[in-house]
Amino acid sequence: MTQEPMAHPQIFDLDALRLRRARRKPEAMFLHDLARDEIEDRLSMVKRVFTNPAIIAPFAERWEGLLPGAKIIADGELLDLAPQAHDLVIHVMSLHWANDPVGQLIQCRRALKEDGLLLVVTLGGQTLHELRSALAEAETYVSGGLSPRVAPMGEIREFGALLQRAGFALPVADLVPLTVQYRDLPHLMRDLRDMGETNAMTNRLRKPTPRALFELADHIYRQNFASENGKLNATFELICLTGWSPADSQPQPLRPGSAKMRLAEALKVPESKLPDGA
């Protein structure tokens, strides 16, 4: 008997996400511009010419012209990528909305030729932590409970582990923190709406939120996260991932005990024994 594959949890309502993205405004897309700058910087440090790149992005117009001849495809649960068709895959500003992030990375690896490069930029776990905290405290006080309002996002160590689980070699994860200041909570919420990054979780509250909750959240936010000039600080964290599809030509870790030189000799320092019992 054939077993059906286990369905991954549907944390995000992708139909709702598409509707939110459709209302985006170009002037609010500064995070995508920052992500593009990061991709350009990282590609400039790779001494290789890529001839068959693919870019997975929610908004194709932000990525046109980055790489001549690049295939730009929409993000989604199933990516329009042919096996071993690309020497570079860029997955940008959408992994934090994936119901199956490991599956996304596995699809990217399968689309890469041997020794092909994956570059990912996505939002990380500290993104909007101030908003999450203020809304949670306000909702607990106003309604006596909590509902999902700010999407969960992975921490950098978790993303590094995902690269390994997906089968990438030489995985690297680092982050770019950014603090943006807003006049008040409505200003921040309007900016998120214009980015297409408002709440699209499957279990989100479907009825209107009382104005009193947002007024209290604004007060809590201001009490805890205001800057010296009185504006509200909002954290955005871009996590950048790099991985290579496996190849025999890549550097391999040495087998334990196979070193031919002592560490002290390599460092040119005197070697001393540890005291007894250490």
Question: What is d(CA 28, CA 31) in angstroms, rounded to the nearest whole number?
Answer: 8
In the chain, how many H helices and how many E strands? 8, 6
Question: What is d(CA 278, CA 271) in angstroms, rounded to the nearest whole number?
Answer: 16
| Residues facing residue 241 across a β-bridge | 120, 173
Query: What number of other Cβ atoms are within 10 A of residue 90's Cβ?
Result: 27
Whether residue 194 contacts residue 27, with contact meaning beta carbons closer than 8 Å, is answered with: yes
CA distances to 56, 123, 179, 264 from 95, in Å: 10, 8, 21, 44
Residue 7, pLDDT score:
67
Residue 214, pLDDT score:
95
Q: What is the pTM of this model?
A: 0.86
Phi-psi region of 207 (alpha: psi -120 to 50; beta: other; left: phi over 0): beta
Question: What is d(CA 238, CA 44) in angstroms, rounded to the nearest whole number?
Answer: 19
- Name the token pair of 198: 């408002």
pLDDT (tens, 9 = 90+) of the chain, 278 residues, equals: 444 445 678 999 999 999 999 999 999 999 999 999 999 999 999 999 999 999 999 999 999 999 989 999 999 999 999 999 999 999 999 999 999 999 999 999 999 999 999 999 999 999 999 999 999 999 999 988 788 899 889 999 999 999 999 999 999 999 999 999 999 999 999 999 999 999 999 998 888 889 999 999 999 999 999 999 999 999 999 999 999 999 888 776 556 555 566 656 656 666 666 566 55
Task: Specify the pairing of strand 232-244 against strand 86-92.
Answer: unpaired
Residue 152, pLDDT score:
86
Q: Which helix (H) or strand (E) holds 266?
A: helix 263-267
Residue 262, pLDDT score:
62
Q: For residue 161, give the 3-state DSSP assignment.
A: helix
**Which domains are seen in the chain, by residue range?**
14-246 (3.40.50.150)
pLDDT tens digits for range 102-144: 999 999 999 999 999 999 999 999 999 999 999 999 999 998 8
